[in-house]
Amino acid sequence: MIIGRQQGLTAKRMTENGCYLVDQQDREVLLPKSYVPEDLAPGDCIEVFVYRDSEDRLVAVTTKPLAQLEEFAYLQVVDVNRIGAFMDWGLPKDLLVPFSEQAQTMQVGKWYLVFVCYDEETDRLIGSAKVKQFIYFDDIDLALADEVDILPYKKNDLGVEAIVNNMYRGLVFESDIHQPLKLGLRIKAYVKNIREDGKIDLSLAPIGYKKSTDRNTELILKKLRVQNGYLPLHDKSTPEEINAVLGISKKAFKRTIGNMYKQKLIMITADGIRQL
């Protein structure tokens, strides 16, 4: 069971408070009554998001937040108190950005780019606005004309800055903006240029070259087929373990399975990945 991620869990037993779900290790989490579908029955699998609620209980919800663990989002501050700023990310409990994780003092009503992290000390999800440490400026696994997912988050004198594939920093030049570009709204874009400093120039229209084949996706799918649809590799696997099985870096593995999950090719669990 992974805190902070959408995942498939199995309904085990119904109570007056809701339905208890279990993962493959039979670890339980409550899906509160207000989220339980009328037709859910023991043995059914349901897609949920797991996090700690306002009473610090581990719960599952069917609502998908605006960002999951290790993802960027452009969020609005709804409250500030003595421990930090609270941001609306689409769930009943707002996402805390502690003062120690703020690049500048956050203000109620304003929007900021944040990265969702797991705080081991508190066993909770938090946000960090010190985003540069989570952006990759080298080992760019992209090619010219590749289609990418972007999250526009800031306007500057040259155009609009964006997070690319949840990993890189890009820019859509003002001269290339021929359609409305709303901050915080994820859209498709295309790689126009990869600069020496690791930043990426983006186009909102296809470049015109044939998109390169995602070799790592094909590699993982092939391994899954050979291993009956399951690989015991996950976020906690060591770089050596991943390289021994797949022959790629841990960074490339995490990036690839993230894209495969979005394409509904795999299910990510705490102990590995399964082909859908």
The identity of residue 262, as a single letter, is: K
pLDDT band for position 209 (cuts 50, 70, 90)? very low
Q: Distance between CA atoms of 73 and 87, rounded to whole angstroms?
A: 10
pLDDT band for position 252 (cuts 50, 70, 90)? confident
CATH 2.40.50.140 segments of the chain? 6-61, 72-133, 147-203
Which CATH superfamily includes the segment(s) 147-203? Nucleic acid-binding proteins (2.40.50.140)
CATH 1.10.10.10 segments of the chain? 215-275
Annotation: CATH topology of 215-275: Arc Repressor Mutant, subunit A (1.10.10)
| pLDDT tens digits for range 13-66 | 999 999 999 999 999 999 999 999 999 999 999 999 999 988 888 999 999 999
Provide the sign of the torsion angle of the four alpha carbons 203, 205, 210, 213, taken in this order.
positive
Residue 213 in this model has a pLDDT that exceeds 70: no
Read off φ and ψ for residue 152, nearest 5 degrees.
Answer: -65, 135
Work out whether strand 18-22 and strand 95-98 pair parallel, antiparallel, or are unpaired. unpaired
Secondary-structure class of domain 6-61 per CATH:
mainly beta
Contact 116, 69 (CB under 8 A): yes
Contact 234, 242 (CB under 8 A): no
Contact 30, 60 (CB under 8 A): yes
* N residues, the chain: 276
Contact 150, 164 (CB under 8 A): yes
Residue 257 in this model has a pLDDT that exceeds 80: yes
State mean pLDDT over 90-103.
96
CATH code for residues 72-133: 2.40.50.140
The predicted pLDDT at position 133 comes to 93
The predicted pLDDT at position 81 comes to 96
Nearest to 76 by CA among 60, 56, 59, 97: 97
| pLDDT tens digits for range 99-146 | 999 999 999 999 999 999 999 888 899 999 999 999 999 888 888 888
Q: Distance between CA atoms of 58 and 55, rounded to whole angstroms?
A: 9
pLDDT band for position 204 (cuts 50, 70, 90)? confident
Burial 15-37 (b: 16+ CB within 10 A, else e): eeebbbbebeeeeebbbbeebbe
